Structure 1
Amino acid sequence: MPKRPSALSLSSYGMGWSTKRRTAVIALAAAVVLTVTAAVAWLSGAGDQPPAPQTAAPVPPHPHSSPQNGAQHAPGTGSGPRSVAKPPRTAEPVPYAKAAARMLWSYDTRDTSRDQQLAGMHAWMTRQNGYTDWASVSVQVPDPVLWSRMADQDQHATGTATEGHYPGAFKAALAEDPSAITKAYIYVVTVNGHQKIAWKKGGSGAEERAVTLAVQCRPGHDCALAGIAPSVTQ
């Protein structure tokens, strides 16, 4: 069997922790990522803050659409996405999060450069200042050297989202203070699924995937991705 090349995949940081600690960490991470005060005061829980990513990917230009309130323009180069899916037009957090997870778990180095991958991913991000964590998303893409090696092997992957749900901590917070969501309209959604990977000479494999996403869904606007948080599956 051919040796499997390195895969583009979501970080497994924190997967060995207890449910209690993972819940505390995602709460803290989401509070930092979203920079929300009253809206997500419930996210201020205890626990150690996850370390910053070791390698931050460059920010590509935003490929389309007009800005929302307080637009955020991303500098950089890149000729635009090829195989990266476009964000769906929906105001429903869970369907949007499932689509975003599929996008994050899918790539094709045969016809998409690293800059194009980043540009396609950035199209999913909210452009409202103070509510976006591009670094948590862009760091999912391998560095240029690894991407080049993956391309040498014609590596490509397809993600499938089998289910999405609001974590228990998020639902409990909404029940306690339903009006808090109206400050930023940030929803926390955990998505479970799997990723199929293939490369030269018939090589292939599959892995289970889980990711917790922060999604902004303001009334009258399509949803947008705010960032990625450590995994929590409750």
Structure 2
Amino acid sequence: MAQHSNPGGASRVRRRALLGTVVLVVLVALGSLAAYLTRDGRRSSEPPAPPPSSPTASSSPSPPGPLTGTPVLPVPPKTHDPIAFGKAAAAALWSYDTRAYSQTELRTALRGWLTAEAKYADPDSVDRVVPSPVLWKEMAANGQFATAEVSEGHFPDAFTQALQEDPGAITQAYVYAVTVSGKQSIAWKGAPAGGAESRSTTLAVQCRPGHPCTLVGVMPSVAP
């Protein structure tokens, strides 16, 4: 089959290359950077779909709803602390509720966390965290949802070392690397207790002086 040109492909490549240049200044020691610049678009691991409902599942109690007092869709916090923002962003990326909104609505909400500076923002890396439309439909049929619990966040060692060696390097784009660890709990109809697993991720966060922090992208591997 003939390949068709992608008008947006070149701009995405340029954006990734520029983002890579900025992050390279402060993450030169991270081997994951090369993968970030050359990733082939493969979707990262998605939340597992629950097993098919048994014939008696309809009589089982439904899982509890979202926690009260919190917004249904994730809203970015107004903070100037890159670690605090990174922890909030990780919690948002690890959470979803197929009973409350669509896959498109969640993807749009998460894109709202991205920096408005298009030359740095990497929406593709955020999209890959969201379950695909096909998987979302399967999950929604079972009323699946996930909640997140963040245990800690920190600057990776390589990032800290790079800043110590060249404190002025970050002043071009004010992009920080933040590694967050925690737990994701998943439940669905017939299994209100669900299951939980440990999660870790490294995010690129932009915190310009005088402006609230925003998300730049999700790194493809975790930096310690």
Tell me if TM exceeds 0.5. Answer: yes
Cα deviations across residues 168-187 of structure 1 (Å, max 9, x unaligned)? 00000000000111110000
Q: Deviations over 1:176-218 (max 9, x none)?
A: 0001111100000000000111001125000100000000000
Summarize the Cα distance change of 1:47–1:160 in structure 2 as closer, same or farther, 3 Å threshold. closer
The aligned residue for residue 41 of structure 1 is 25
C-alpha deviation, 1:145, in angstroms: 1.1
Per-residue CA deviation, residues 144-164 of structure 1 (Å, 9 max, x unaligned), is: 111000000000010111000
Alignment of 1:112 with 2:101, yes or no, is yes
Q: Distance in 2 between matches of 1:33 and 1:151?
A: 37
Equivalent positions of 1:1-234 (< 5 A) are 32=17, 34-37=19-22, 40-44=24-28, 49-50=34-35, 51-54=39-42, 83-203=72-192, 204-234=194-224
- Partner-residue secondary structure (3-state), 2:21: coil
* Identical columns (%): 46
Question: How far, CA to CA, are the matches of 2:173 and 2:132 in structure 1?
Answer: 32
For the residues of structure 2 that align with 1:36 and 1:156, how far apart are their CA atoms? 37
Query: Matched residue pairs, number?
Result: 178
- Do the aligned partners of 2:153 and 2:178 also contact (CA within 8 Å) in 1? yes
Which whole-Å CA distance do the structure 2 matches of 1:45 and 1:92 have between them?
Answer: 23
For residue 203 of structure 2, what is the amino acid of its counterpart? L
Q: Distance in 2 between matches of 1:47 and 1:170?
A: 12
Alignment deviations for residues 114-133 of structure 1 (CA, whole Å, 9 cap, x no partner): 11011110110001021111
1:79-132 deviation per Cα after TM superposition (whole angstroms, max 9, x unaligned) = xxx722200000100000000000001100001101101111011000102111
The Cα of 1:231 is off from its aligned counterpart by 3.0
TM-score where L is the length of structure 2? 0.73
CA contact (8 A) 1:167 1:232 kept: no
Question: Which SS does the other structure have where 1:230 is aligned?
Answer: coil
Q: Secondary structure at the match of 1:36?
A: helix
Return the letter of the residue paired with 1:54: R
The letter for the 2-side match of 1:106 is S
Is the 8 Å Cα contact of residues 166 and 189 (structure 1) preserved in structure 2? yes
Distance of aligned partners of 1:125 and 1:52 in 2 relative to their CA distance in 1, 3 Å threshold: same
Q: Tell me the SS of whatever aligns to 1:214.
A: strand
